[in-house]
Amino acid sequence: MIERTGLSFGRVTASTLLALSPLLSLGAPPGAADVAVTELLQRDLASSPTQEVLMLTVTYRPGGASLPHRHDAQVFVYVLDGEMTMQTDGHAAVTLRPGQTFYEGPGDIHRVSANASKTAPAKILVFMIKDKNKPASRAVTEERSP
C-alpha cells in the first residue's frame, strides 16, 4: 500500500507524471503545462488484489485543456472550483460547476477536458479505480470513435 498526501506538482513521482502525461499540453514542458496534477492517495483495492484506487486533484490554468485521452478505468470527477467542460465520445459536451460530477467508463475516450473560463483556474477531484501497474491515463491518437 502506498499513500501520498499533499504532494506538490514538482514532487509527484516520475511514474505518476509519465502515466498522467496525456493530461499535459502538447509540446509544453511539465512545469509550463495547462494542468497541475497532485496525487493525494494511491491504495490497493481491498476487494480486488489486481486493482487500486488513485485519488488526484487536477488544476487547470485559465483557458487550459487536456489532450484527448483515455483511462481504461472507472473515473469519477467532482468539480471543486471553477467551471469545466467535459465530453466523452458519443456524448454531448457538458459544462460543470462546483459540486457537480462526471463519470468516465473504462472504454470511454475523454475527448474534451477544458477549463471553461479564460480568466479563472478550475480544479477537480479525480477518484479512479484502475488495474495495478497500468498507466492512469494514456494519449489517444486515433480518429474520433463513432
DSSP helix/strand/coil, 32: helix
Looking at residue 42, its pLDDT comes to 95
User: Which of 73, 50, 82, 87 shows the shortest CA–CA distance to 126?
Assistant: 73
Helix/strand/coil for 87: strand
pLDDT tens per residue, range 1-43: 333 333 333 333 333 344 444 444 333 333 336 899 999 999 9
C-beta of residue 49 within 8 angstroms of C-beta of residue 13: no
> Which pLDDT value is given to residue 142?
62
* Per-residue DSSP letter, 17: H
Which segments in the chain show pLDDT lower than 50?
Answer: 1-32, 143, 145-146
pLDDT of residue 30: 34
Task: Go through the domains of the chain in sequence order and give each one's CATH number.
Answer: 9-139 (2.60.120.10)
Residue 105's pLDDT is 95
